[in-house]
Amino acid sequence: MTVLELVPTVPILSAEQAVVAAADLAAELAEGSAERDARRILPAEQLDALSASGLLGITVPAEHGGSDLSAGTVAEVFRLLAYGDPNVAQIPHSHFVYVNALRHRGSRAQQSFFFDEALSGRWFGNAQSEVGSRHVRDYRTTLRRTGADPEDGWLLDGEKGYSTGALFADWIPVLAHLGEDGPLHVAWVDRRADGVSVVDDWDGIGQRTTASGTVRLRRVWVHPSRITPYDLTFDGPQTYGAFAQLLHAAIDTGIARAALDDAAEFVTTRSRPYPDAGVERAADDPLVVQAFGQMELEVRATEALLAEAGLAVEHADRDLSEESAAEASLAVAAARAASARASVEISSRLFEVAGTRSALASLNLDRHWRNARTHTLHDPAAWKVQHLGRYALDGTPPPNHGQL
């Protein structure tokens, strides 16, 4: 029996309650994160706790009974969860992205149904990327009519990779062409539907317990009421991409802070000082102190950029225009580039400041670097810097797509 079955109602959280709930859950996640990573134990119990917490419903609009919390608050929730275990934080990323997609493109009936599912603690997964495809327009997953009448429904066929969240999901949003070469739509597929197969074949060096494996779809019947448009998302100004990237930045920021805190704990309790330092504790070595000061500065800067990006997305959500959407994308690009750098550099420098003992496999401190290195590969941070540079030079706005 799952936690969700034991809890009859899922709470509706205020902003303050959401942050407290995330912090409490993060403390629980941190206790077993190293062991789960080392033994690749999938976090089923931890995800049940996340479902029961009410956090999955915090972006549901108020008119549908949700908290309708701001982008900045959601980013803080993700940062805290990633501090505890970035694997657990990564799994609901697509859930929040697709709740956002429903806000933009779902019909009233679709919103009513799926928002109620989210408020009940049910999960939305992800079946979007296709291994080997060079561009989203090359995706081969297709919805085909079953008859002349659209109400007869559609048959969905295809295969998706990097499907984070699908293994644990109640619903899997699948990105597919409507017809052979038609526009992209999202097919909302019941995880337990006939023809749906989720394969736990993820073997990444990091984010090992996200179960980001393969989804196979063989003649899966989809009712028209379970299909929403995707191609229209980027027809005008939008914060869909900025919001998704903001949550990625929050995950990297959480990893950076966790790596720094683990480094500090190790240095103050286990590291031996270098003889030339002439000190009793490694933590009193001036070179070590300087290194920690530099790392603390980098993490604080990243946290500040994340908060600023959240405010920029909130402003664009309140008053959406080409200008406000561009400003949101640029602010998120800065946070994303900074967080990618901080998470990778600090999780690597951890060993430099902590010394030889920190490299013991039994400690599994390398999970911070492996998680950071893997997660930051979602899209290249260098392109974030490129768009910032073009804007700084001649005011060129960033492109309007899902990675900004």
What's the whole-model pTM score?
A: 0.96
Find, among 243, 239, 244, 246, the residue nearest to 334 by Cα: 246
Range 128-147 average pLDDT: 87
Find, among 141, 333, 124, 334, the residue nearest to 241 by Cα: 333
Find, among 254, 202, 277, 244, the residue nearest to 85 by Cα: 254
DSSP 191-254: TTSTTEEEE-----SSSTTS---EEEEEEEEE-GGGEEE-GGGGSS--SHHHHHHHHHHHHHHH
| Separation CA 352–CA 292 (nearest Å) | 11
Q: Coil, strand, or helix at residue 67?
A: coil
Domains, the chain, in order of start with CATH, read: 3-119 (1.10.540.10), 136-231 (2.40.110.10), 236-394 (1.20.140.10)
Residue 194, pLDDT > 70, answer yes
Confidence of residue 206 (pLDDT cuts 50, 70, 90): very high
Average pLDDT, the chain: 95
Range 17-42 average pLDDT: 98
The CA distances from residue 331 to 141, 307, 325, 334, in Å, are: 34, 10, 10, 5
Residue 303, pLDDT > 50, answer yes
